[in-house]
């Protein structure tokens, strides 16, 4: 997910020039190789590097799945040994949620990328020469990636990224703040998909997440790479500085991927907010870093500037050491005092809004939130900001499986249904049929249930753009709602949608929706087709 619209960037490269340099096509395409699961390998005529890497990812995923199966089996045996009549519904739901995450990371099916929304900064990947390429109301196939086996997509504020089954990363959109992780030039224009190579040498990426101006990438080994920048309230750029460069080097953007230092080994999941990131380890530890001026990091941090000198009219300087230490170095998140004040551990799921964090615990499947709460996006029944993670009481005992955040709203998937809270004046919450003009700025501070249309099936994946929501169901169909004036909903109209509505992907030749994400004013859809 992420945030706000900024000025247009145009590399002034024509479609003809782009096609002349190959349109981003790979020089070594995978031949005769496909898999849809742990045992779905088929032999390739030539085992090129992409094929070998994809097989390596499957092997690691197979091991991860074996360990998950054993843990589930042992847990069930222990529970039934105590009481043979125990209801295992929630345990099974959790297992299915975990296994789906493993499948998405290691065994994901590949498909074609479709884009919709506003692309005046090149974030749609069609170029910025013609209005039809920047104003796309119906999802359109992205030709620049048609020859690649894409397994995941992620949207930032005005940039987009895609991941292939062999761990390669492609980006497009504005390069102003380093958000695409590569230089824009005649051979790799920013407004079309191009591969991020420099800085990722030897890495095999298995997951991506994007914020307003930053993207982070999870490597097969558990390391996390990052590029772009975090912006403070004044719009200044910040990013983690190498230890040997000194703390003042943290001011600015990382134009190329760097390894994020300070994270423990075996990171399992990553998420991005507007100007911060979260990482979840296999052990259930959650860490945060970025710019945490509003409590989104879930712990106390220093002010961005040193305290002013009494009586002085001079602007205080930045506290570079404090920023590097408290904001930009990954560290743990903590519960609010009323919830015990302890470090947050045993976490199973994480999510980010623009300026707020959402964390789900393993044992009770409870949701905790912190950060900006001006529109009730924390779900706590009020509009007070939180510097530490507070329990969302209204979601207790609902067995939450996944969480996602938008600009000022949140979306929560539980075994009991789908819930939303926060700002709703553009239909973001998906639970109010009519929004009046007088309702500008209206919001809900407590969770509201969201109902998909009859026959839609059950939600399986939830994502948010700045002011819209996307849900993929167990029927592999996509439903969207919220702010629609830029076409990001994919319904063919530039109007808001107050209730979940199905995106007609069948008309596009999509047989299954595999992945989807929302950005500042655009959306990306990954669909399986007869040709993919």
Strand order across the 214-219 sheet: 205-210, 214-219, 224-228, 254-259
What digits encode the pLDDT tens for the residues 244-294? 888 899 999 999 999 999 999 899 999 999 999 999 999 999 999 999 999
CA–CA gap between residue 279 and residue 301 (Å, rounded)? 18
Residues 415-429: what's their mean pLDDT?
96
The whole-chain average pLDDT of the chain stands at: 90
Domains and CATH numbers, the chain: 89-308+315-529 (2.130.10.30)
pLDDT of residue 33: 28
Displacement of CA 277 from its chain's centroid (Å)? 10
pTM for the whole structure: 0.88
Q: Tell me the per-residue pLDDT of 187-207, one tens digit each, with 9 for 90 and over.
A: 889 999 999 999 999 999 999
- Let me know: does 181 contact 257? Beta carbons within 8 Å: yes
- Sign for the CA dihedral angle at 485, 457, 379, 522 comes to negative
Cβ of 156: how many Cβ atoms within 10 Å?
Answer: 31
Neighbours of 152 (CB within 10 A): 25
- Calpha distance 118→488 (Å, rounded): 7
Q: In terms of residues, how long is the chain?
A: 532
Cα–Cα nearest to 488, from 434, 407, 413: 407
Q: How far apart are CA 55 and CA 106, in angstroms?
A: 10
E strand residue ranges, 330-455 = 331-332, 347-352, 356-361, 367-371, 386-391, 400-405, 409-414, 417-423, 443-450
Which one, of 418, 486, 400, lies nearest residue 456 by Cα?
418
Work out the burial of residue 398: count CB atoms within 10 Å of its CB; fewer than 13 is exposed, 13-18 middle, 19 or more buried. buried
Q: Which pLDDT band, with edges at 50, 70 and 90, does 1 fall under?
A: low
């Amino acid at each position: 997910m992420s945030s706000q619209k900024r000025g247009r960037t145009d590399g002034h490269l024509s479609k003809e020039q782009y096609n002349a340099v190959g349109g981003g096509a790979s020089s070594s395409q995978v031949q005769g190789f496909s898999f849809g699961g742990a045992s779905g390998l088929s032999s390739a005529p030539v085992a090129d590097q992409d094929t070998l890497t994809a097989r390596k990812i499957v092997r690691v995923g197979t091991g991860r799945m074996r360990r998950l199966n054993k843990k589930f089996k042992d847990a069930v045996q222990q529970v039934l040994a105590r009481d043979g009549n125990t209801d295992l519904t929630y345990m099974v739901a959790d297992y299915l949620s975990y296994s789906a995450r493993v499948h998405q990371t290691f065994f994901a099916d590949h498909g074609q990328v479709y884009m919709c929304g506003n692309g005046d900064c090149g974030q749609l990947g069609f170029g910025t020469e013609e209005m039809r390429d920047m104003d796309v109301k119906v999802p359109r196939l992205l030709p620049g990636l048609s020859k690649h086996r894409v397994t995941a997509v992620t949207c930032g504020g005005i940039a987009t990224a895609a991941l292939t089954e062999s761990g390669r990363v492609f980006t497009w959109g504005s390069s102003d703040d380093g958000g695409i992780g590569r230089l824009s030039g005649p051979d790799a224009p920013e407004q079309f998909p191009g591969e991020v190579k420099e800085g990722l040498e030897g890495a095999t990426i298995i997951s991506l997440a994007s914020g307003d101006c930053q993207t982070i990438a999870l490597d097969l080994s558990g390391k996390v790479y990052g590029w772009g920048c975090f912006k403070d309230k004044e719009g200044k750029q910040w990013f983690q500085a190498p230890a040997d460069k000194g703390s003042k080097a943290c001011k600015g953007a990382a134009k190329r991927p760097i390894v994020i230092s300070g994270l423990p080994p075996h990171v399992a999941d990553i998420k991005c907010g507007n100007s911060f990131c979260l990482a979840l380890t296999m052990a259930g530890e959650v860490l945060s870093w970025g710019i945490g001026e509003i409590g989104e990091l879930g712990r106390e941090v220093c002010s961005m500037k040193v305290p002013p000198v009494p009586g002085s009219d001079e602007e205080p300087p930045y506290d570079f050491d404090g920023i590097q230490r408290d904001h930009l170095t990954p560290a743990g998140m903590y519960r609010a005092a009323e919830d015990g004040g302890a470090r947050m551990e045993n976490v199973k799921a994480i999510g980010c809004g623009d300026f707020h964090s959402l964390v789900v615990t393993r044992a009770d499947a409870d949701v905790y939130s912190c950060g900006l709460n001006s529109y009730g996006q924390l779900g706590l029944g009020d509009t007070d900001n939180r510097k530490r993670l507070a329990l969302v009481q209204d979601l207790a005992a609902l067995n939450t499986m996944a969480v996602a955040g938008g600009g000022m709203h949140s979306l929560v998937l539980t075994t009991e249904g789908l819930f939303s809270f926060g700002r709703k004046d553009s239909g973001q919450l998906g639970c109010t049929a009519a929004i009046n003009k007088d309702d500008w700025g209206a919001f809900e501070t407590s969770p509201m249930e969201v109902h998909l249309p009859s026959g839609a099936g059950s939600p399986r994946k939830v994502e948010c753009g700045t002011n819209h929501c996307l849900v993929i169901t167990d029927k592999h169909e996509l439903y969207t709602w919220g702010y629609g004036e830029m076409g990001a909903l994919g319904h063919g109209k530039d109007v808001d949608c107050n209730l979940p509505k199905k995106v007609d992907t069948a008309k596009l030749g999509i047989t299954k929706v595999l992945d989807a994400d929302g950005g500042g004013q655009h959306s990306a859809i990954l669909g399986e087709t007869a040709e993919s």
